[in-house]
Amino acid sequence: MSIYILSIAFSVLFLVAVLELVRRQRLKEQYSLLWILFGVLLLVVSFNVHFLERVAEWLDVKYAPALLFLFGLLFCFAFILHLTLVVSKLTGQVLRLSQELAIMKGKHREGEGGTL
């Protein structure tokens, strides 16, 4: 079995899995778009062997299918960076909401104590 056939099969299964996760509402649409884009890109590159071989020659890569793994790895790094940014933003929002809630509870307790 050729690495290209394996890559095509993986791409199709990957796209089906992502679409199924979106259909079951286990994956939000905003994140699924990146995964669908990655799956389609991998599928196109897997089908277009000559393009992949030209890019491998241009980058001086001896084994062209290794580029598929390189592109996948780079995508994963980029996506992990994106998720880290999202988590950082959400952490800041949770901290701010916690502080606001503590302030509101403090004011509420002061209001109860003042009326007694």
Residue-averaged pLDDT of the chain: 89
Residue 27 has φ and ψ, to the nearest 5°, of -130, 125
Give the total number of structural domains in the chain: 1
The pLDDT score that the predictor gives to residue 88 is 96
Six-digit token pair at 32?
């699924």
Asked if residues 53 and 59 have their Cβ atoms less than 8 Å apart, the reply is no
Neighbours of 61 (CB within 10 A): 15
Asked if residues 84 and 96 have their Cβ atoms less than 8 Å apart, the reply is no
Flag whether the pTM goes above 0.85.
Answer: no
Residue 116: which pLDDT band, with cuts at 50, 70 and 90? very low
For residue 64, give the nearest of 75, 76, 49, 74 by alpha carbon. Answer: 49
Q: Which domain holds residue 60?
A: 3-115
